[in-house]
Structure 1
């Protein structure tokens, strides 16, 4: 009987010791789970915000790219149509002048000169200069320079640089750095450090050391709080810096292309004006009357 009582007392003592420990362990695991859950929630929110931002950036770039090229195409079309109309008009005018002054030796040389001036294929002639300025395939021409800077495939062009800046797969671009900052799988990124620090399975993390009984809960909370603040701050600052870089690149590129477009318009108008004036002046010498025309791209002051 005495032996049975001793055995029963031993069991009761063991239970009295085990029950509080089990309760403490459950509470600890709840906190561990809470930390991990809060990390997953933060990660999801941050990554979703990044993805939405990247979509907006891509959409803005595409809209600017399309609008820029539409303006370029429209400008080119307008100038080429004008050149075609003047070519037809001047050729017809030349034929009339030849008929009118047939056999007149006084204007023969000037008619020959007139024929050269109106010919867009005559090297360095006024119409040749006008035609080449509007030829985007002619190296270093006015329209070529604008077309080049708008070309996202032309190395180091303004549009190429803009596109690379917002491309996450382009090494060391702003978008690439942005994507790595919020990636939990990219080695040593802030999100990678935060993920591991929040995990009780990652060796030597505050949560792992706490779960293993190597540090107290108070110490674990202190260490984790410090890590959480450091890494979320790094993520926030990094993301803000990348957004600033992308915004600056986008606005800077748009400004440069807009300015170059305006400059291109002015130059094309000037080439046209120079061509028509030189032809008109010669026509006055031949027939006493010049050409009549209005501005094509820029209103005269």
Structure 2
């Protein structure tokens, strides 16, 4: 009886052991399957985070590059405009005084007492005679004359001139320039850059990276609950750190841009003022000599150098208008004919209706002066401001016109510029 009982007990124990082994196997399999799911879950969360900030980085990089190019093209465009004015003026003054000298030589050239007077007048009006009044004006406006007023401005807006304002701004925005702001931003978000923020998050989420949270979990050093808690903290903190880093880098670049805009716009204005001041002194010197030796002065036309308070860039080209753009109720208005021509549209003006019809390809725009209702391909569009007359110029809302003709319109508040990109 005892032997039989012992056999039964052994049989029961054997069955129980087998069941325990089976249940343990099932438990381990279930736990491993769940562990694998958790590893994939964390991997997915990291990848989603990386994708989100990578997209933000690409957007920031594109915007930073655009803003840099906008400023560069604004400054070079305004420099060219300024140069055209003073170069044409130098030619005008040189020809004016030269023609006057010819007349004076015809009248006084044979008289000995006027010989030196004519020579002095001739020297002072000669733009190539060193130290003459006209030479001073000539070198002041010459961008290639080292240390001249124009040369200094040209140097500072040249992104290839080492240590210039624009050079510093370019390097701050260049993701490949070592130690630049954008370079630091690029590396912080690069998972392959050792010690970067994204590198740290990638490794912490990697179950095969030695000593990481997920590695410890995979080897059983951490429970699922412990690993989840640590990873939640790591990813939350990582997200916060990445956003703060992004904000700091973009704030730094914005500050650099603002300083560049202020510095270069001030230098531009000082350069224009210096041109006008030197021109005035030059003309006064020559006029005084003429009056002293020949009893009268010439009539000399004045010049002005002005920069549009509201600028328009079309495909990175600065556009100048006879009537500068104006802002009405937050909307920028530009001269009608000029903007339509720049965007490649043909226009028909109806004098009786005081309206204009513009056509480009399959797009047709109808505007009536003073009417907020415009038409695009026959469909009525309500405008914030109507087309209107400003100082005898027909002005139209630039955003509506540009977008209706297939162009992209952006506003750069820092430089007060309408940026139009057309196909």
Structure 1 range deviating more: 138-147 or 71-80 = 71-80
- What is aligned with 2:25? 18
What are the superposed Cα offsets for residues 56-99 of structure 1, whole Å, 9 maximum, x if unpaired?
Answer: 11011112111211111121122111111221221111010011
* 2:76 is the alignment partner of 1:43: no
CA RMSD of aligned residues (A): 2.0
CA drift of 1:298 comes to 4.8
Q: Classify 1:6/1:224 alpha carbon distance in 2 versus 1 (closer, same or farther; 3 Å).
A: closer
Larger deviation, residues 103-112 vs 31-40: 103-112
Secondary structure of the corresponding residue to residue 303 of structure 2: coil
Query: Is 1:276–1:291's contact at 8 Å kept on the other side of the alignment?
Result: no
Name the count of aligned residue pairs.
299
The one of the two structures with greater contact order (alpha-carbon pairs below 8 A, sep at least 6) is 1
Per the alignment, residue 157 of structure 2 pairs with 150
Q: Cα distance, 1:11 vs. partner?
A: 4.2
Helix, strand or coil at the partner of 1:292? coil
Q: Does 1:239 align with 2:246?
A: yes
Specify which of 42, 54, 63 is matched with residue 70 of structure 2.
63
For 2:171, the equivalent position in structure 1 comes to 164
TM-score of the superposition, structure 2-length normalised? 0.67
CA deviation after TM superposition for structure 1 residue 253, in Å? 0.5
SS of the aligned residue for 1:137 comes to coil
Contact 2:203 2:212 in 1 (8 A): yes
1:193 maps to 200
Partner of 1:174: 181
How far is the alpha carbon of 1:287 from its aligned partner?
A: 2.7
SS of corresponding position for 1:28: helix
Name 2:83's counterpart in structure 1: 76
For 1:261 and 1:295, locate their aligned partners in 2 and report how far apart those are by CA, in whole Å.
20
Which structure 2 residues correspond to residues 69-218 of structure 1 after superposition, within 5 A?
A: 69-218=76-225
Per-residue CA deviations over 1:165-201 (Å, capped at 9, x if unaligned) read 0001111110011001111110011110000001111
Q: Which runs of 5+ in 2 are unaligned?
A: 1-6, 307-423
Secondary structure of 1:241's partner?
helix
How far residue 221 of structure 1 moved from its aligned partner, in angstroms, is 2.4
Please give the TM-score of this superposition, normalised by the length of structure 1.
Answer: 0.93
Is contact 1:32-1:207 (8 Å) kept?
Answer: yes
- Residue of structure 2 aligned with 1:297, choices 285, 297, 304: 304
- Residues 46 and 182, structure 1, Cα contact 8 Å, conserved in 2: yes
Alignment check: 8 A CA contact 1:269 1:295 kept = no
Output one character per residue of 1:32-58: Cα deviation in whole Å (capped at 9) or x when no partner.
211110110000110111011101110
8 Å Cα contact 2:82/2:305 also seen in 1? no
Distance 1:200 1:294 in 2: 80
More displaced, 154-163 or 104-113?
104-113
CA distance in 2, matches of 1:257, 1:119: 32
Q: Which moved more, 1:216-225 or 1:120-129?
A: 216-225
CA contact (8 A) 2:85 2:305 kept: no
